Every structure is written in C-alpha cells, then in structure tokens.
Homo-oligomer: A and B are copies of this chain.
C-alpha cells in the first residue's frame, strides 16, 4: 500500500539573515515526500515541473524511493518558482516573487495503478485541485490535508468540502485563527473540527504543535534549536513525518497519532537546520529516533510526590 503525495515542486530562491540560495529545490510535495521517505516506501508524487527542472533533483528524490511516475514534465515549460526573504527573527517573511509557470494549469491526474491508494497527503494547493484528486481515489483510508491563508480567504467553500473528506488537517496557528475568525486557539480548533475534519493539528513553529481529536488534546513541544538556517518547508516536513509514520505503523490509534505528531516535529526540526531540502537529504532512522527520544525527555514528567 503506497503513500500518495500531491503538491507542488518548485525552485526556490531564499534569503535569510545568514545566507542565500538560488533555484534550490522546493515545493510542498518535495518536502513531504522526502520527510516521509524515512518511514515508508514507496511514495508516489503527483505533480508538475517544467523541462528546466534539474535532473539531479529528480535523481536525489528517486534515491529516496520516491516514485516519480505521476510527475508531469511539461516540454518547454518553466517550473514553478518562489522567492522569499526572511526577517531578522525568522518568524516572518516577505514573498518577493511567485511565478506559477507550469503549475498554473496543473491538472492532477492519478495514474490508474494509484487510484486504489489508501494513504493520501494533499499538500498546500488549490482546494479545487485537492477535490479533483480525491474524486479520482476509489476508497481512501487516511487523508491528510494542508492548506494556507490564501485558500482560506479565497476558496473557503471548496476547502470546507475537502475537510469533510479529510481525516487530518494540518495548519498553523494564524491560519486556524483566520479560518475560525477566533483569537482563542482552543475555540478555533473546535470550530474547525465541527466543519467535519476528524483530527486537527495546529503547528505553532517554535512553540510546538497541538493535536485535537475526539475528546483528546495532545501538545508536542518544538525541538530547541539554537540555529535555524531556513524555515522554508518546515510545515511540509512536519506533514511528511506525520503521514509517513502513520503509513509505516498502519495504525491510527490515539497513541500512534501522538507519536506521529512528534515524528512530524522531529522532521521539521531537521528541515530548518539547513537551506532548502538539504536537512532532509542525509538522515538516518537512527538519528531520527534519537531526536524523537529527546522530545520524550523534554516533555516527560510524573505525578509522584
């Protein structure tokens, strides 16, 4: 049973107070699939790039058992490009450029062999495309969905339709507040779950993540990093670690969902330690488990007197 990842692939030009990279590998499905690749295989990407997309990026992904049969390479087309500049504290950024290019007319087509996929991760793309993907899947078992402010404001109705067919929505705290028009995060979470999504995960960057389920709230800390090189892709890496671990465990019990949140946080912490996808390219399951156990140590206390 494969894991299907749908989202963008792109070339990112990113500046932080510390450094700058040009045309580096980016895109939601890139980070999601690389992150998930440490837990499960095979992973199938559905996406689109132009003919200018560097071959070595494709080779690197394939070396992580990421299957690219569902990747459309548009002849003569230009790949999606994004450029951003992070501010001093790395918590905010300015988008300097967004060139949709081949992504503008992206029409996700799921190859027949993948229409029976059970585990689906819908990266942050137009909710109408997310619906198109779901329409092509015969009987999905576990659907994880990401979105962003842009779609919450502009495609709310379509997004709500996606949520009703989604098991886990992963968004950040400002998106949750915007979605619910509610500053209190707990109330906002309640509102969003009532729209029909079973489980809601709210990412809070340096403050960790919260999971809201039926009669259940779980709080994961963030990994205490002294140096963050590049926050780009942290949220996607979280989603990849989360869904990759669930796919590996084939278990959606509360205990497993909690561990998956911590694995998501773990992968996000590796991601931001280097520019672009570099932090996700050379990990080992052992290193990931070591860091997972650091999360345990950091959050564990007992009630004995």
Interface set of A (CB-CB < 8 Å, partner B): 88-91, 183-187, 190, 204, 206-208, 210, 217-222, 224-228, 249, 255, 258-259, 261-262, 289, 292-293, 296, 298-303, 305
Contact = CB atoms under 8 A, between A and B. Distances in A.
6 contacts: A90-B183, A186-B225, A190-B226, A207-B208, A217-B298, A218-B299
A243 to B, nearest CB: 17
A219 B227 CA distance: 19
A240 B7 CA distance: 49
Contacts of A88: 183
Given A208-B221, A220-B301, A261-B301, 4 more contacts: A89-B183, A217-B224, A293-B303, A299-B300
A292 B301 CA distance: 11
Contact of A258 (B183, B208, B222, B301): B301
Contacts of A305: 249
Nearest to A248: B305
A298 B219 contact: yes
A207 B34 CA distance: 29
In the assembly, how many copies of this chain are there? 2
B303 A259 contact: yes
Contact of A262 (B208, B289, B296, B301): B301
A186 B259 contact: no
Contacts of A292: 303
Contact of A255 (B187, B296, B302): B302
A303 to B, nearest CB: 6
A25 to B, nearest CB: 26
